[in-house]
Structure 1
Amino acid sequence: MGLLNRMKEPIFLKENSNAEEQLEKLKALEPLLNIEGQGIIRQDIKYLEYGIIGEKNIAFELKNSHMPMYIIHDIYLEDGDLSAQIDYLVFTKKICFVIECKNLYGDIEINSVGDFIRTIEFSGRKKREGIYSPITQNQRHLELMKKMRIDNKNNILAKFMLDKYFEDFTKSLVVLANPKTVLDARFAKKEISNKVIRADQLVKYIKTMYEKSKEPAFSDEGMLEWAQYYIDLHKEVVKDYTEKYEMYKINKSKSPQEATPAKGESSDAVDVVSSLEETNIFKELRAYRLRKSREEKVKPYFIYNDNQLKDLISKMPRSKEELKTVSGFGEIKANKYGDDILQILNQY
């Protein structure tokens, strides 16, 4: 007891997640897929990598908070048909913070009705799109936590008190982990804007909320018991992250090039090419090609032809050096169009 009461620094009760393992499985699977499948899996890999980076940014902030707290990373709760995958539970002596991590590309606006709108800029154009509200997502996590705590109580009065005061000591928080993201919440309602912060504000936010809280403080031992309750509820779930890509697997006895059907040959590869041309990335690259050709008053295929466009999607270069490995792209084209093309590819 004496040792626990001298706690001064944060402690991770669970720090690992299965995201790194999932990432390795996707990277190993990528070469086994056709062109369309590779485009899809590379986008999924990119999103997963963003998520991992974002969660590491939050872990760094928490580790350097110099505040006594217990932290649980990547916890999965399940109750009947309900489930919640929670990025972080952070237990202080007064408040448990339920953190949803978002490492989003682009700038985020929250309007007066609580809609989340993302703006992405590329090739001098801005694209606005609505995204699913992380506030709503995280509120569902809180509701499940609350239900499980209430169901665990046998006393009717205890159930009533927990139902009434649960959100006084359990707070929802959405953390934007991308340091380049600009958050505009000027027109958002206070109850919404107060729940969304940037990662570099996280520790200050936790300390401020702690100081303002009128809840009685737990002892170090009580704080640990509170956190341990949810550790005991955590379930390790084994998921098959590769199942969705089965339809894109190529014939293992052939290379991707060999899998392309000869003229007159009946094959699913014909459908793959057709499907590829319907993807957003194909349309974006084709629209850019048309726009540049009109600016330069040349035929679109002088910028790059369809086969080169498909090779772009297949290889998904991330730098000008990688772009030079794409069919039809040498030093001049890579320098001339590279920044625009890479900006488009980096969305996927």
Structure 2
Amino acid sequence: MPVYSSTLGMVDVFADLIRGVRAHGSLFGSSMLTPPWSLHFADGAPLTLCTVLGGAGWIVPEHGVPVPLRDRDTVVVRGPEPFSFVDEVGTRADPVACGQHCAVPGQGGTRHRRGWHDTGDADVALIVGAYPARGEINGRLLEALPGVLRVDGGGTGDGVLDHLAEEVAIDRPGQQVVLDRLLDWMLVCTLREWFDRPDGRPPAWWAAQHDPVVGVALRRMHADPAAPWTVATLAGGAGVARATLAKRFAELMGEPPLTYLTRWRMTLAAELLVERASATIADIARTVGYSDPFGFSAAFKRVRGVNPSEFRRQATG
């Protein structure tokens, strides 16, 4: 059984890397703020999305340059290092610990969580979503992100913000589920805009997905990573010669197609070794496309530096 399979038109590298990154329940918060303020987020979430409505402030990472956050701007902060949201750099406000348990005004000024809200006056509405993003697959997405990335308002995420603003204003049945999904939507819009900006430096796999040759090969490998792919079969699916695919793939991705495939299979295997504690090495090998567990173990050690059994012991220990 393949690790992941679908129609080729529905599979891409980004979708694979972000699957499992979901907001859930109490990880949503909306703080209504009047200056001065200093909210300190120290819960170590791998990804935290922050956006403001009707005001401005600053995101101040513990080790990094402060980043301005204006009305409808959005930032994504990569954890686990703490960061603060302040009214101005050097604010006189005392820091207030705020995170996934920041639920009522006495615990940091949160005005909305699990359907509870306050209609008091405020200058700034801060919407925050913290995301669990663990494991080998999500790790490859995190590696592509800086400590803090910022996207200006006015892009595709503005429509999501309108829905968020409407949803937090009134208590409704099923509200938390709606908020979680809106935050997920906002995260995807923000990352896509950041990767696509003209002055950006997106990871190689992002640009390669748009290539008519390499993009097809990537989608095929991600649709069914356990399939017995060769350069010839990948090239045939893209409608080009083997040499053309090999050259184009190396130019855009920095490595040959089958080298990329092996690294992706080992990423999947590493996650499965931890998630499926009862699975044998042979089971994992077959799942990622290896009929011979010894060949799989050799490939895993070549890519990861340790054999699968040792990796599992270290990861679960």
TM-score norm. by structure 1 comes to 0.32
Q: Quick check: which one's helix share is greater? A: 1
TM-score norm. by structure 2 comes to 0.34
